[in-house]
Amino acid sequence: MAEMKGSKTENNLLEAFAGESQANRKYLAFADKADAEGHKQVARLFRAAAAAETVHAHAHLRALGGIKSTTENLQEAIDGETHEFTSMYPQMIKDASSEGFDVALRSFSFANTVEKVHAGLYRKAFDNLGSNQEVDYYVCKVCGNTLEGEPHGPCPICQAGPVAFFKVD
């Protein structure tokens, strides 16, 4: 079998994975908007298409060999989150600030702070892999902050109240 690394097919799979992943997120946001406007059937269609896009994205990622052992996946997640809060988001924050785009600045700033949290949670999971600790996770709907256990007070990142958090199943 031919080596995929550096091939057009690898680049196509990477592009397709990114496109399908983005479509999933976009369609879920569209579904929320359709729900808010009272268009329940359209919201259901957006969610169905989003689920299909996830199937496609996962297939492309498998074809790329991008799903490895849990230890390797955790390390990749730690590395990715660390890159985001040390390199990617700081530059985006700087650009949005200098260009005066306050909404983008807020979005980037929240994400940057939460990526640090994610890296820490992944590191903790990596260090405790196999200990079978049961932990419930809660995510803030405003900024994405992720907590171990129920929130007891406002979000430490965006100050939203505890009702802004939802439990992840």
Amino acid in the structure at residue 41: Q
Say which residues have a Cβ less than 8 Å from residue 156's Cβ, sequence separation at least 6. 145
Angle 40-63/8-36 helices, nearest 10 degrees?
160
Binning pLDDT at 50, 70 and 90, where does residue 145 land?
A: very high
Binning pLDDT at 50, 70 and 90, where does residue 1 land?
A: low
| pLDDT of amino acid 140 | 98
Residue whose token pair is 């849990």: 70
Q: For the segment 46-70, what is each residue's pLDDT rounded down to a tens digit?
A: 999 999 999 999 999 999 999 999 9
User: Residue 89: CA atoms inside 13 Å, Cβ hemisphere, count?
Assistant: 20
Q: For the segment 77-127, what is each residue's pLDDT rounded down to a tens digit?
A: 999 999 999 999 999 999 999 999 999 999 999 999 999 999 999 999 999
Burial class for 35, CB neighbours closer than 10 Å (0-12, 13-18, 19+): middle
Binning pLDDT at 50, 70 and 90, where does residue 168 land?
A: very high
Mean pLDDT of 17-41: 98
Matching fold, domains 8-63 and 69-133: yes
| pLDDT of amino acid 86 | 98
Residue 2 has pLDDT above 90, yes or no: no
| pLDDT of amino acid 10 | 97
The enclosing H or E element of 146 equals strand 146-148
Residue 21 has pLDDT above 90, yes or no: yes
Whether 97 contacts 46, CB under 8 Å: no
The topology (CATH level 3) of 134-169 is: Rubrerythrin, domain 2 (2.20.28)
- Break the chain into its structural domains and give their ranges: 8-63, 69-133, 134-169
Share of the chain above pLDDT 90, in %: 97
Among residues 119, 97, 121, 122, which one has the least CA distance to residue 109?
A: 97
The topology (CATH level 3) of 8-63 is: Ferritin (1.20.1260)
Write phi, then psi, for 97 (nearest 5 degrees). Answer: -65, -45
The architecture in CATH of the region 69-133 reads Up-down Bundle (1.20)
